[in-house]
Amino acid sequence: MNRFADVILPLPLYRYFTYRIPDEMQGRLRQGHRVVVSFGRSKFYTAIVVALHDMEPQGYEVKEIATLLDDEPIVLRTQLNFWQWIAEYYLCSVGDVYKAALPSGLKLESETSLTINNDYEEDVDNRLTEREAVLLQTLAGQGRLTVQELEKATGLRNTLPVLRRLVEREAVFVTERMRVNYKPKTEVCVRLTFEQGNHEALRAAFDLVGRAKQQEVLLLSFLDLSHFMQKGCYVEVSRSELLARADVSPAVLAGLVNKGVMETYKREVSRFVPLVHRSVELPRLSDEQSRALGEIYGSLGDKSVSLLHGVTSSGKTEIYIHIINNILQQGRQVLYLVPEIALTTQLTERLQRVFGDKLLIYHSRFSDNERVEIWYKMLRSREPRVVLGVRSSVFLPFHDMGFVIVDEEHEPSYKQYDPAPRYHARSAAIVLAGMYGAKVLLGSATPSIESYYNALTGKYGLVELLVRYSNNPLPDVRTIDMREQRRRRQVKGNFSQALIDAMQGALKREEQIILFQNRRGFAPMVECRECAWIPKCTQCDVSLTYHKRDNRLVCHYCGYSCEIPHVCPACLQATIEVRGFGTERIEEDVEEMFPDVKMARMDLDTTRSRNAYQEIIDDFASGKSKILVGTQMVTKGLDFDRVSVVGILSADTMLSFPDFRAYERAFQMMSQVAGRSGRGKSRGEVLLQTSQPELPIIGQVIAHDYIGMYQEQILQRQQFGYPPFTRLVYIYLKHRDEAVLDTLSQQYATLLRKVFGERVLGPDNPPVARIQSLYIRKIMLKVEIAASMSQVKDLLRKIYENSLADSRFKQLVLYYDVDPM
């Protein structure tokens, strides 16, 4: 008999916890079930069962599982193995992985905040229990409460199971900071209690309304909205729409319902875009594409991963579509990873046309309820599906993953920086695919140095597709030497005369323009002309960015903002100046130079709302806007055929970044943005402004010489012992007191050196050495590729535990970043 269960708690704890299985759960409890357990001082959590056994733990009193939440497991065995792998490899706890993997709606805990759904109507066939009703009423008066607060207010205990039912019925929402434009799954609608065309009943209804003026308004509004008087044109009317039109309170509607004139009912609405018709015809591949597809299948015969190096606009997507179709026909599932939501808008439509409702989309901007819905869809059916998703979709419950595509595999956004698990979705997906026996295709026009190295050394297959689909030539890249331009006084604001001329030409020919600047905001810095004072964030060690729109200085790390000082606080003169340039400043320059041309800006600031991307992209696609200014968001995936000029405003800012990947990243961004040009009929033109045109990397961008860039960079990596020749682990240490931190991090590095010797570098100040009042130091560990990560993990844990003998180390916040980007 199994009397005990090991569970994962959603906490950063490095082990499983054991609970006693109560008699009534005997035989019912299974791996992957959710249970509610108490932990610490009377806090309740939703935990996941990983194992059942009969070994009584020693040394502490074993508590009982409070409640079993599921009939069916909610996490599959492969997923639990996958979580375990992530925790091992990325040096974090399985609890951290669990927290990242499950949508918050599925892992309620004492700290979860809840709000009531004001549109919720009790279901007559499924009445609320007393406990449910009490919780709902309490929540209704309060706006937002945590589970703990709710329990305090109601005096009820162990409410998680009850709340779970309320969340699943959508009577209650789990609130998240990022939720935007949430759309409920059902909508309350209103109808009359009689049929269209029943004039007698209608007259009777007006009699019943009598002199109740507001009820009359409501009835008339209904007749209008529903087209009730026009036979055959009836339209369903939602309650909120009706109340808004009539401008009356819900009590008025309740009055008419009581009189038996109207009734309400629920209508299912889909949260997801309505599906377009499915065409069974797949796009016909060109000869080059067919060859590439054949080679991909060939290379995946004996290898599990293949790299498709296909230049921009070579038609990689169409190749993916053929592969997906093939896997779906085998009855298996596909994971199609993309780095960001920006890519998916155009792609989604393309995939929907071919795959219809077999396509599921998993955005980063989905609300929690939408995530829960997709989770259940995957969990409850083994149907062949293709999931198009961002990084976190590697956590979805696939039953039978047959293939993984990682598009734009070089993108750094596949790496999660914060919080733990700091995983790389590409590496994680490769491991996950291995667990299912699935093959992986990585695709990029500018592969990461690591992947290309793996391909050249035979670990991955390599397939090259070096011509564009239309056989269009790659765009013509020209450098503009900004030093020379300045000497000749041919620079206006941030624009060289050459770029202005090219833009004018494009506009005259009715073509479009993309301008790329890798910084957002108006100008990156404000500075004192006299004493070089720079305003810094009070919490973080970074200079503030000037945002022209609200005339404020903003910290891009913590969001702190303040007014721009009129007088320099250091030298007390009125010599504060705005220096450098960001996207907002570029936008303003363009407006000044081309006042009649409609333009749009795309960066983090303009795309906060859910539909903003779509609108910007639609306007540009339809030709409504002619110039698109943006950060690296515009470098990715966009496919517009009327873009003939791309301007790269400053290559210098990208090249001066203090990181061993700076040149690789700069090459990737510049080549990708260049690739947005000339995708239609005419050859594209790219103008690259730089003060260092003599740098080899500039020559490589001009020549579209990926291999040249690779060869130069790989030599450097080898010489200095960077990936792919070593594996990096950053060890971050944080503390409030900088002096204490300096001492402790020196000592910690010494402890590490005793075990790892020369492999330890630092401590150093990272580029941002203070965030939100915590000072940060970084120690770098370079381990051999062949070294076992679980051994490294054990050693690191021992060092940490030994350090705690000195109690000062207990105040340190310490965490790891494996394979940092």
Q: Could you list the residues that contact ligand ADP (CB under 6 A)?
A: 283-286, 289, 310, 312-318, 469, 639
Q: How far is the CB of 318 from ligand ADP (least distance, A)?
A: 4
Mention every residue, 6+ apart, whose C-beta is less than 8 A from residue 545.
Answer: 519, 520, 521, 522, 523, 524, 525, 553, 554, 555, 556, 582
Amino acid identity of residue 113, one-letter, is S
Q: Strands across the sheet with 561-563, in order?
A: 545-547, 552-554, 561-563
544 binds, options Zn ion, ligand ADP, none, Cβ within 5 to 8 A by partner type: none
Is the Cβ of residue 161 or residue 678 nearer to ligand ADP in the bound state? 678
Rounded Cα gap, residues 615 and 244, in angstroms = 26
Question: Residue 648 has what DSSP assignment?
Answer: E
Total residues interacting with Zn ion, rule: CB under 5 A? 14
539 binds, options ligand ADP, Zn ion, none, Cβ within 5 to 8 A by partner type: Zn ion
Q: Is 812 helix (H, G, I), strand (E, B) or coil?
A: coil
Q: How far is the CB of 215 from Zn ion (least distance, A)?
A: 55
Nearest CA to 779 out of 795, 793, 794, 760 is that of: 760
Q: Is 710 helix (H, G, I), strand (E, B) or coil?
A: helix
**Rg of the Cα atoms in the chain:** 30
Rounded Cα gap, residues 648 and 637, in angstroms = 17
310 binds, options Zn ion, ligand ADP, none, Cβ within 5 to 8 A by partner type: ligand ADP
Nearest CA to 117 out of 189, 188, 190, 184 is that of: 184
Q: How far is the CB of 465 from ligand ADP (least distance, A)?
A: 8
Is the Cβ of residue 237 or residue 406 nearer to ligand ADP in the bound state? 406
Rounded Cα gap, residues 193 and 204, in angstroms = 12
286 binds, options ligand ADP, Zn ion, none, Cβ within 5 to 8 A by partner type: ligand ADP
Nearest CA to 351 out of 388, 326, 383, 394 is that of: 388
Residue 34 near residue 160 (C-beta atoms within 8 A) = no
557 binds, options Zn ion, ligand ADP, none, Cβ within 5 to 8 A by partner type: Zn ion
Is the Cβ of residue 129 or residue 538 nearer to Zn ion in the bound state? 538
Q: How far is the CB of 617 from ligand ADP (least distance, A)?
A: 14
Mention every residue, 6+ apart, whose C-beta is less than 8 A from residue 442.
Answer: 305, 306, 307, 308, 406, 409, 426, 451, 460
Question: Residue 127 has what DSSP assignment?
Answer: P
Is the Cβ of residue 395 or residue 414 nearer to ligand ADP in the bound state? 414
Looking only at residues 367 through 406 of this chain, which bind Zn ion when binding is defined by CB under 5 A?
A: none
Q: How far is the CB of 543 from Zn ion (least distance, A)?
A: 10
Q: Which DSSP string corresponds to 501-562?
A: HHHHHHHHTT-EEEEE-S--SSBSEEEETTT----B-SSSSSBPEEETTTTEEE-TTT--EE
Q: Is the peptide bond between 73 and the residue preceding it cis, with omega within 30 degrees of 0?
A: no
80 binds, options ligand ADP, Zn ion, none, Cβ within 5 to 8 A by partner type: none
Structure token digits, residue 353: 């046309």
477 binds, options ligand ADP, Zn ion, none, Cβ within 5 to 8 A by partner type: none
533 binds, options Zn ion, ligand ADP, none, Cβ within 5 to 8 A by partner type: Zn ion
Is the Cβ of residue 142 or residue 575 nearer to Zn ion in the bound state? 575
Is the Cβ of residue 253 or residue 638 nearer to ligand ADP in the bound state? 638
Mention every residue, 6+ apart, whose C-beta is less than 8 A from residue 383.
Answer: 358
593 binds, options ligand ADP, Zn ion, none, Cβ within 5 to 8 A by partner type: none
Q: Does 568 bind Zn ion (CB under 5 A)?
A: yes
Q: Is 681 helix (H, G, I), strand (E, B) or coil?
A: coil
Q: Does 722 bind Zn ion (CB under 5 A)?
A: no
Q: Strands across the sheet with 186-192, in order?
A: 237-238, 186-192, 262-268
Piece of the chain touching Zn ion by CB under 5 A; list 565-573, 635-643, 761-769, 797-805: 565-573
Piece of the chain touching Zn ion by CB under 5 A; list 181-189, 240-248, 438-446, 520-528: 520-528
The runs of H, that is alpha helices, within 141-263 are: 147-154, 160-168, 199-209, 213-226, 239-246, 250-258
Q: How far is the CB of 600 from ligand ADP (least distance, A)?
A: 21
570 binds, options ligand ADP, Zn ion, none, Cβ within 5 to 8 A by partner type: Zn ion
Q: What is the largest CA-CA distance in the chain?
A: 94
Angle at 526 (CA atoms; ends 525, 531), nearest 5 degrees: 120
Mention every residue, 6+ apart, whose C-beta is less than 8 A from residue 558.
Answer: 537, 539, 540, 771, 772
Looking only at residues 523 through 562 of this chain, which bind Zn ion when binding is defined by CB under 5 A?
A: 528, 530-531, 533, 537, 539-540, 555, 557-558, 560
Is the Cβ of residue 98 or residue 336 nearer to ligand ADP in the bound state? 336
Rounded Cα gap, residues 184 and 432, in angstroms = 33
Question: Residue 394 has what DSSP assignment?
Answer: G
Is the Cβ of residue 70 or residue 340 nearer to ligand ADP in the bound state? 340
Is the Cβ of residue 245 or residue 529 nearer to Zn ion in the bound state? 529
Rounded Cα gap, residues 625 and 185, in angstroms = 35
317 binds, options Zn ion, ligand ADP, none, Cβ within 5 to 8 A by partner type: ligand ADP
Piece of the chain touching Zn ion by CB under 5 A; list 197-205, 455-463, 570-578, 702-710: 570-578
Strands 34-39 and 43-53 come out as antiparallel
Residue 406 near residue 442 (C-beta atoms within 8 A) = yes
Is the Cβ of residue 70 or residue 407 nearer to ligand ADP in the bound state? 407
314 binds, options Zn ion, ligand ADP, none, Cβ within 5 to 8 A by partner type: ligand ADP
Q: How far is the CB of 474 from ligand ADP (least distance, A)?
A: 11
489 binds, options Zn ion, ligand ADP, none, Cβ within 5 to 8 A by partner type: none
Rounded Cα gap, residues 530 and 30, in angstroms = 70
Rounded Cα gap, residues 82 and 100, in angstroms = 13
Q: How far is the CB of 278 from ligand ADP (least distance, A)?
A: 18
Is the Cβ of residue 50 or residue 338 nearer to ligand ADP in the bound state? 338
Mention every residue, 6+ apart, whose C-beta is less than 8 A from residue 469.
Answer: 286, 288, 289, 313, 314, 315, 318
647 binds, options Zn ion, ligand ADP, none, Cβ within 5 to 8 A by partner type: none
Is the Cβ of residue 639 or residue 742 nearer to ligand ADP in the bound state? 639
Is the Cβ of residue 531 or residue 740 nearer to Zn ion in the bound state? 531
Residue 817 near residue 732 (C-beta atoms within 8 A) = yes
Instruction: Report the residue number whose CB is nearest to ligand ADP.
Output: 315
Is the Cβ of residue 293 or residue 432 nearer to ligand ADP in the bound state? 293
Is the Cβ of residue 349 or residue 510 nearer to ligand ADP in the bound state? 349
Q: Does 775 bind Zn ion (CB under 5 A)?
A: no
571 binds, options Zn ion, ligand ADP, none, Cβ within 5 to 8 A by partner type: Zn ion
Q: How far is the CB of 499 from Zn ion (least distance, A)?
A: 34
Is the Cβ of residue 474 or residue 627 nearer to ligand ADP in the bound state? 474
Give buried/exposed letters for 109-146 (b at 16+ CB in 10 A, else e): bbebbbbbbeebeeeeeeebeebbebbbebbeeeeebe
469 binds, options Zn ion, ligand ADP, none, Cβ within 5 to 8 A by partner type: ligand ADP
Q: How far is the CB of 93 from ligand ADP (least distance, A)?
A: 38
Rounded Cα gap, residues 437 and 295, in angstroms = 20
Q: How far is the CB of 555 from Zn ion (least distance, A)?
A: 3
Q: Strands across the sheet with 172-174, in order?
A: 144-146, 113-116, 172-174
Q: How far is the CB of 254 from ligand ADP (least distance, A)?
A: 54
166 binds, options Zn ion, ligand ADP, none, Cβ within 5 to 8 A by partner type: none
Q: How far is the CB of 687 from ligand ADP (least distance, A)?
A: 21
Burial class (CB within 10 angstroms; exposed 0-12, middle 13-18, buried 19+) of 240: middle
Q: How far is the CB of 455 from ligand ADP (least distance, A)?
A: 17
Is the Cβ of residue 408 or residue 817 nearer to ligand ADP in the bound state? 408
Q: In the complex, which residues of this chain contact Zn ion (CB under 5 A)?
A: 528, 530-531, 533, 537, 539-540, 555, 557-558, 560, 568, 570-571
